[in-house]
Structure 1
Amino acid sequence: MHWPPDASVDTDPRHVFLDAHDVMARYGWGKTKGYQNLKDRSLVPPPVMTHPDRWRLDQLLAWEEKRMELAEAALKALVAPDREQATITDLLPQPKRRHRSA
Structure 2
Amino acid sequence: MDGPRHVFLSAGVVMARYGWGKTKGYQNLKDRTLTPPPVMTHPDRWRLDQLLAWEEKRIASAEAALEALLAPGREEVGLADLLPKPKRRRRAG
Could you say which residue in structure 2 is the equivalent of 1:74? 65
Shift of residue 11, structure 1, vs aligned partner: 2.5
Amino acid at match of 2:20: W
Aligned length: 77
Over the aligned positions, Cα root-mean-square deviation in angstroms equals 1.9
Provide runs of 4+ in structure 1 moved above 2 Å: none
Write the letter of the residue equivalent to 2:44.
Answer: D
What aligned pairs does 1:36-47 form with structure 2 within 5 A after superposition?
Answer: 36-47=27-38
> Which residue does 1:95 correspond to in 2?
none
5+ residue gaps, structure 1? 1-9, 89-102
Question: What are the ranges of 5 or more consecutive residues in structure 2 without an aligned counterpart?
Answer: 76-93
Amino acid at match of 1:31: K
1:91-102 alignment runs, 5 A limit: none
**Matches of 1:55 and 1:43, distance apart in 2:** 14
The TM-score with structure 1 as length reference comes to: 0.69
- % identical aligned pairs: 79
Deviation at 1:80, TM superposition (A): 1.7
